Amino acid sequence: MVDYSTITELPRSKASKEQFARSCNRYYFAAQFCENKDVLEVACGAGQGLGFLAKKAKTVIGGDIDKNILKYAKEYYQGRDNIELRSFDAHNLPFEDNSFDVIIIYEAIYYLKHPEKFLKEAWRVLRKTGTLIIGTVNKDWSDFNKSPFSYKYYSVPELYNLLKNHNFKDIKFFADCPISTKSLKNKIISIIKRVAVKLHLIPKTMKGKEVFKRLLFGKLLELPPEIKHGMVKYSPPMPIPHNVPGHQYKVFFAVAHKQ
C-alpha cells in the first residue's frame, strides 16, 4: 500500500503563492458545474475543496484510497449534512449506475495504474447528462517534474483521445497557471528548477519540497483545511484547443460529458 500522505497537499502544509492560488482556483472552476447537483470527488485527499463544492451542490461525496489522508476530511467535516466521506479505489467505484451528476478528479489520474478502468467506472456511475472534470499537471510544461508513485502523464491531445475512446462527448479543455518568463526572476527560477529536475535534486516529499520552495519563493502560505470564497482572486482557466500540446501553461482541465 502506497503512503500518499508524503506527496499530498495536507492542511497546514506550506505552499507558494501560486500553489495556494492553484488549489483554490481548481474548486472555484469546478463549482460552476455543481449547482444543485450530486457530486463525487475521486481522490479527494484531505478534502479541502469539498466544503466549497457543498455550498453549491445538493450532495457531495469525497473519497480516497488512503485512509490516513481521508481522516483529515472526516474530522473536519464531521456533522456537515450534505458531505459524505468514503474510502475507495478509483478503479472500482462503490456506487450504483447513474448515481452522480458530476465527477471530479484532480491531480490524481497519473497515479492510476489503469486510468481506462476509472473512465469506465465514471461513465457507469454518471447520469445521462453527467459531467466529468479532470485536472492535471501539464507534462509539456518545460519545468515539469514527475511525481513519485505516478504511472503516466497525459498531454492535452492524449487525454482527449482517451476520453473520446471511452465514449465521452463534448470534450473541452482549459488552461491554468500561464507561464511567465518576462521577469528576470522568473527566468532564473525556471533555470534552477530545470537543472534541479535534470540532476534529480527535487525533493520527493511535500515536506522536502517546502524547503526547496522557500529558497526559490521566500515566505510560503499555509494551506487551509477548507477552501473558501475570496481566499484568492479567481482567474478563470482559458479555453485551449484539444489537438495541440501546450507549453505555455502549467496545468489544464478537461471537461467531458456522458451525452
User: For all residues of the chain together, what is the average pLDDT?
Assistant: 91
pLDDT at 184 over 70: no
Average pLDDT over residues 104-126: 98
Q: Where are the chain's structural domains?
A: 4-257
Question: Predicted confidence band at 186 (pLDDT cuts at 50, 70, 90)?
Answer: low
Question: Predicted confidence band at 1 (pLDDT cuts at 50, 70, 90)?
Answer: confident
pLDDT on residue 259? 87
> How many whole angstroms separate alpha carbon 145 and alpha carbon 129?
36
pLDDT at 195 over 90: no
- Cell digits of residue 53: 463544492
Radius of gyration of the chain from Cα atoms? 18
Burial call 24-59: b when 16+ CB within 10 Å, e when fewer: bbbbbbbbebbeebbbbbbbbbbbbbbbbbbebbeb
pLDDT on residue 129? 93
- Cell digits of residue 72: 483529515
Average pLDDT over residues 199-206: 63
Cα separation values, 26 from 59, 76, 134, 205, 212, Å: 19, 20, 10, 22, 24
Average pLDDT over residues 64-84: 96
> How many whole angstroms separate alpha carbon 113 and alpha carbon 234?
33
> How many whole angstroms separate alpha carbon 190 and alpha carbon 164?
34
Say which residues have a Cβ less than 8 Å from residue 182's Cβ, sequence separation at least 6.
Answer: none
pTM for the whole thing? 0.90
Options 2.40.50.90, 1.10.287.110, 3.40.630.10, 3.40.50.150; CATH for 4-257 is 3.40.50.150
For residue range 212-245, what is the model confidence (pLDDT) as tens digits? 556 656 789 999 999 999 999 999 999 999 999 8
Neighbours of 148 (CB within 10 A): 11
Enumerate the H helices of 171-242 as residue ranges. 184-198, 206-217
**Do the beta carbons of residue 28 and residue 53 sit within 8 Å?**
no
Residue 60 β-bridge partners: 39, 83
Average pLDDT over residues 35-60: 98
Side-chain-side CA neighbours of 52 within 13 Å: the count stands at 24
Taking every pair of Cα atoms in the chain, the longest distance, rounded to a whole number of angstroms, is 54
